[in-house]
């Protein structure tokens, strides 16, 4: 086969060739919209109405919900009932809610601390959209004290375990080939657990988002895009290893912690707080392996001291940011997106750490199924699974 | 802060730490499953900084329980019926004398599909009799010959099934007066027994035809001439619409109904006479020196019973209205199952002027719209 030589066209002709189909598209849309040839399909059915609650705020002024309309036409919230009682409410901004738009519904309802409430929004066609407030607690506000408290939580959940894990660094130095293999495999195992956990959580969250965000597709595509982008960036100058690989692991874990922080902040705002120290310790234990994983690729080199601080901040710091963002501006679709991006990043580090592990050994592929590597991998997964049992409720 | 087992630490630092740990605990559980909820833990401090955790303790502007209300007003003109005039809007048809001297009373009723606003901003695709829900409150007198000309302008087969005494041919069930769209049927029977009755469409599925709005009161006044006991004759006379004895009474027609706007087998709006909270927005004016009589009917679908409770007063109740002496005396609450009906008689003559509430005493029905006020005042006020 030889290269087909196309006769080159003048630029003006090319432009016209592009404009022609565009003009045809525009004309056909105008024709369809103006003549409405599909009107015979109109069978008198009421418009499809969809209303998704994205945020709930409980405070001294009552209950406020942020709702997003997603029906086939603009829709109206005619009445609001809380616990089967029609209640006065204001809508901000008022009027019909266009598809994709959000409004606040403010209901001066005397909610009861620690109890459940059910908000029912009735549209003008009589369709009812129910929203459950499972445990009513005051929504945290963006005060300095509140932000500090959340930063502390984020630090305990994100920074502390990573720092603790990195403190194993001196002890891990001097490990032999087998020890390194176990450690790297352990890292891949814990990352694999995080990948599965995050993907599941992202999909679950995305199911709560308005349909127009196409939850599942958004999660898979965002994860794929972040994976491909990070792979491309990572391999800009050869395959990453050493400190660079550690930073990629820290970035992946950081994105994971950001997504987790979002979910935590959101759940905190939604009122599912109320636990003991035991679970906090469980959480710290669960995340300690993250620090060990980050340290694994730099055991053979002597990185500068600042890099440990930087790795800790990169991996753990996003938890704090996530907490703030999640509690102040929680929405299921954004949390799902953040988790999906994190999942892609985790997948990238799984690939890179595995490839690093193979390069470290002469027998390449065969090492993957060696007892040390398989044991480390399964051990990592098992450790994460068991410690996760402490924090799943 | 909850009591803690930690040894003595600088109290302020400890408070911060425990608060943080509690918060982190919440965070941790949430991280596992962001939307799974846990029961409130007594250990947890619910530390929300300076927030007042109990809304009752906090100043809540505009948050009095008086906010239990629908928002806005129904456009009665667009509906074509208004719940206030509807209370006293009796359809007495047209009368003529038969050769034997009896009265022939003729009613005309059309079945019409119509979208109605049942609460502010909420529209319901109703099936109606004469364009209103409930249908016209038909009123006749015991012993009259009745002729009801029924035309079906709706999109489905309909009928009028009267609760009364009549022949099988006139029963309004399939094969006996159930007619298709565009058809006409004339029901004929004698008005008996006297009482507070109803009619409704008996097309199948019955539940759907009922709750779409096809029902109405059918009141047969007693004929005083048929009573031998003077006291009962007087009672009958007071119930005979148009008689001098009846003129002093403040009579009203109330149909307890409800609407399942999303067709899930449970009602979204409850009301007396269709419009949720109509008599809260426009209280019913009662002249306190004159006695009150309510013809009450329950046609609520899906819920087995409904009820009527009068505040700050008691009433006599005539179940089904077929007696001239009360079946229940001095009660402030009566129950009605589906299609049960009766007559309530009471007086506010000895009361202070004021707003007196009435509602179903199923709190759920009350708060979903079935509640109203009597505005009781003297004639001079």
Residues A84-107, mean pLDDT to the nearest whole number? 93
Residue B217 in this model has a pLDDT that exceeds 60: yes
Q: Which of B134, B85, B153 is nearest to B273 (CA)?
A: B134
The H or E element containing residue B346 is: strand B341-346
Task: Please give the ipTM for the structure prediction.
Answer: 0.74
> Which CATH number does the domain housing residue B93 bear?
2.60.40.420
CB contact under 8 A, A275 and B38: yes
Residue B84 to chain A, least CA–CA distance (Å): 21
Task: Give me chain B's average pLDDT, please.
Answer: 86
* Integer Cα distance of B328 and B338 in angstroms: 19
Question: Across the interface, do B276 and A264 touch by the CB < 8 Å criterion?
Answer: no
- With tokens 């403040």, the residue in question is B250
Nearest CA in chain B to A147: B49
Is residue B189, in this structure, part of any structural domain at all?
Answer: yes
> Domain range for residue B277?
81-377
Domain annotation covers residue B211: yes
The span from the CA of A84 to the CA of A86, in Å, is 7
* Position A8 confidence tier, pLDDT thresholds 50, 70, 90: confident
**Inter-chain residue contact A149 with B120, CB threshold 8 Å:** no
Query: Which residues of chain B lie closer than 8 angstroms to A143, CB-CB?
Result: 49-50
pLDDT, position B83: 96
pLDDT, position A239: 78
Residue B281 has pLDDT above 80, yes or no: yes
- What is the band of B96 on the pLDDT scale with cuts at 50, 70, 90? very high
Task: Please answer yes or no on whether A113 and B48 come within 8 Å at the CB atom.
Answer: no
What was the pLDDT predicted at A7?
Answer: 65
What's the pLDDT score for residue B127? 96
Boundaries of every domain in chain A: 51-133, 144-391
DSSP A376: H
- Spatial strand order of the sheet with A51-59 comes to A51-59, A62-69, A102-107, A90-92
Cis peptide before B205 (omega within 30 of 0): yes
Q: What is the pLDDT of residues B219-253, one digit of tens each?
A: 999 999 999 999 999 999 999 999 999 999 999 99
- Domain for residue B227, yes or no? yes
Kindly tell me if the per-residue pLDDT of B54 is higher than 60: no
CB A265 within 8 A of CB A326: yes
Give the three-class secondary structure for B238.
helix
Q: Are A215 and A207 in contact (CB under 8 A)?
A: yes
**Would you call B71 and A89 a contact, using CB atoms and an 8 Å cutoff?**
yes
User: What is the rounded distance in angstroms from the CA atom of residue B167 to the CA atom of residue A66?
Assistant: 59
B7 domain residue, yes or no: no
**Which residue of chain B has the CA closest to A275?**
B25
Look-up of token digits 């606003």: B117
Residues across chain A:
393
The minimal CB distance from B63 to the residues A61, A263, A282 is found for A61
**CA-CA-CA-CA torsion for A98, A100, A106, A109, nearest 10 degrees?**
110
Question: What residues in B contact A75, CB-CB < 8 Å?
Answer: none
Residue range A152-161: mean pLDDT, rounded = 84
Cβ distance of B48 and A140 shorter than 8 Å: yes
Domain A51-133, CATH among 3.40.50.1000, 3.30.420.10, 2.60.40.10, 3.80.30.20: 2.60.40.10
The domain tally of chain B equals 1
Please indicate whether, in this complex, the C-beta atoms of A264 and B34 are within 8 angstroms of each other: yes
The answer to whether residue B309 is domain-embedded is yes
Residue B123 lies in a domain: yes
Give CA angle at B218 (B213, B223), nearest 5°: 175
Read off the pTM. 0.77
User: What are the tens digits of pLDDT across the range B312-360?
Assistant: 999 999 999 999 999 999 999 999 999 999 999 999 999 999 999 999 9
Nearest-angstrom CA–CA distance, B104 and B100: 10
Residue B95 sits at the vertex; the CA angle it makes with B92 and B97, to the nearest 5 degrees, is 150
Query: Would the CB atoms of B40 and A114 count as touching at under 8 Å?
Result: yes
Taking a C-beta distance cutoff of 8 angstroms, is the pair B260, B266 a contact? yes
- Say if A85 is an interface residue toward chain B (CB within 8 Å): yes
Helix (H) / strand (E) containing B325: none
- Answer whether residue B124 is part of any domain: yes
Q: Has residue B316 been placed in a domain?
A: yes
The backbone torsions φ and ψ at residue B141, rounded to the nearest 5 degrees and listed phi first, read -120, 145
Is-contact B159 B203, C-beta < 8 A?
yes
DSSP 8-state secondary structure symbol assigned to residue B175 = T
| Closest CA of chain B from A127, distance in Å | 5
Measured between CB atoms, does A276 come within 8 Å of chain B?
A: yes
Q: Which of B349, B350, B376, B371 is nearest to B360 (CA)?
A: B371
């Amino acid at each position: 086969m030889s290269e087909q030589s196309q006769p080159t066209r003048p630029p003006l002709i090319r432009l016209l060739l592009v404009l022609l189909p565009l003009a045809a598209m525009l004309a056909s849309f105008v024709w369809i919209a103006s003549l409405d040839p599909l009107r015979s399909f109109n069978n008198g059915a009421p418009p499809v109405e969809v209303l998704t609650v994205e945020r709930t705020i409980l405070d001294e002024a009552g209950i406020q919900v942020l709702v997003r309309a997603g029906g086939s036409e603009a829709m109206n919230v005619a009445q609001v009932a809380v616990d089967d009682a029609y209640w006065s409410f204001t809508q901000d901004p008022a009027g019909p809610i266009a598809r994709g738009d959000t409004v606040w519904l403010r209901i001066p309802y005397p909610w009861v601390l620690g109890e459940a409430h059910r908000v029912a929004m009735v549209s003008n066609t009589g369709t009812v959209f129910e929203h459950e407030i499972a445990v009513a607690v005051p929504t945290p506000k963006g005060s300095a004290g509140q932000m500090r408290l959340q930063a502390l939580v984020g630090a305990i959940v994100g920074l502390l375990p990573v720092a603790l894990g990195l403190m194993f660094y001196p002890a891990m130095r001097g490990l032999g080939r087998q020890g390194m293999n176990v450690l790297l495999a352990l890292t891949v195992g814990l990352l694999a657990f995080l990948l599965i956990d995050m993907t599941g959580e992202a999909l679950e969250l995305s199911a709560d988002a308005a349909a127009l965000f196409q939850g599942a597709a958004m999660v898979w595509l965002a994860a794929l895009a972040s994976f491909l982008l990070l792979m491309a960036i990572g391999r800009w100058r050869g395959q990453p290893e050493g400190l660079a690989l550690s930073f990629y692991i820290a970035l992946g874990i950081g994105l994971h912690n950001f997504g987790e922080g979002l979910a935590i902040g959101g759940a905190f705002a939604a009122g599912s707080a109320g636990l003991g120290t035991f679970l906090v310790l469980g959480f710290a234990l669960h995340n300690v392996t993250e620090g060990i994983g980050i340290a694994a690729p730099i055991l053979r080199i002597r990185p500068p001291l600042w890099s440990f601080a930087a790795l800790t901040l990169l991996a753990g710091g996003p938890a704090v940011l996530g907490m703030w963002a999640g509690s102040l501006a929680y929405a299921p679709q954004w949390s799902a997106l953040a988790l999906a991006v994190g999942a892609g990043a985790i997948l990238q580090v799984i690939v890179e750490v595995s490839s690093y592990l193979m390069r470290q050994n002469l027998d390449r592929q065969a090492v993957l199924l060696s007892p040390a590597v398989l044991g480390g991998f399964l051990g990592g997964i098992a450790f994460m699974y068991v410690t996760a049992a402490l924090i799943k409720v | 802060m909850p009591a803690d087992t930690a040894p003595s630490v600088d109290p302020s630092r400890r408070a911060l730490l425990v608060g943080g740990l509690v918060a982190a605990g919440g965070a941790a559980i949430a991280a596992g499953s962001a939307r799974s909820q846990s029961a409130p833990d007594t250990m947890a401090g619910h530390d929300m900084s300076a927030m007042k955790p109990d809304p009752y303790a906090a100043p809540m502007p505009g948050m009095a329980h008086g906010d239990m209300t629908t928002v806005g007003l129904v456009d009665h003109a667009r509906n074509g019926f208004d719940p206030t005039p509807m209370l006293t809007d009796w359809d007495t048809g047209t009368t003529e004398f038969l050769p034997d001297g009896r009265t022939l009373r003729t009613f005309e009723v059309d079945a019409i599909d119509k979208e109605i606003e049942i609460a502010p901003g909420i529209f319901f695709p109703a099936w109606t009799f004469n364009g209103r829900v409930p249908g016209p409150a038909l009123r006749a007198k015991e012993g009259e010959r009745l002729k009801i000309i029924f035309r079906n302008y709706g999109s489905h087969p309909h009928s009028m099934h009267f609760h009364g005494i009549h022949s099988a041919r006139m029963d309004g069930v399939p094969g006996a007066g159930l007619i298709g769209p565009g058809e006409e049927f004339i029901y004929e029977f004698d008005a008996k027994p006297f009482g507070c009755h109803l009619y409704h469409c008996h097309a199948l599925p019955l539940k759907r035809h009922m709750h779409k709005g096809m029902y109405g009161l059918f009141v047969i006044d007693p004929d005083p001439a048929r009573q031998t006991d003077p006291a009962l004759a007087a009672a009958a006379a007071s119930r005979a619409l148009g008689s001098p004895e009846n003129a002093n009474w403040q009579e009203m027609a109330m149909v307890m109904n409800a609407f399942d706007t999303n067709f899930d087998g449970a009602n979204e709006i409850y009301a007396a006479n269709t419009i949720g909270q109509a008599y809260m927005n426009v209280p019913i004016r009662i002249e306190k020196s004159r006695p009150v009589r309510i013809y009450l009917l329950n046609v609520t679908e899906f819920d087995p019973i409904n009820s009527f409770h009068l505040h700050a007063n008691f009433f006599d109740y005539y179940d089904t209205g077929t007696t001239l002496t009360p079946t229940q005396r001095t009660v402030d609450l009566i129950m009605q199952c589906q299609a049960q009906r009766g007559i309530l008689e009471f007086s506010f003559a000895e009361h202070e002027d004021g707003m007196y509430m009435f509602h179903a005493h199923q709190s759920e029905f009350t708060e979903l719209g079935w509640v109203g006020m009597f505005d009781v005042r003297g004639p001079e006020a």
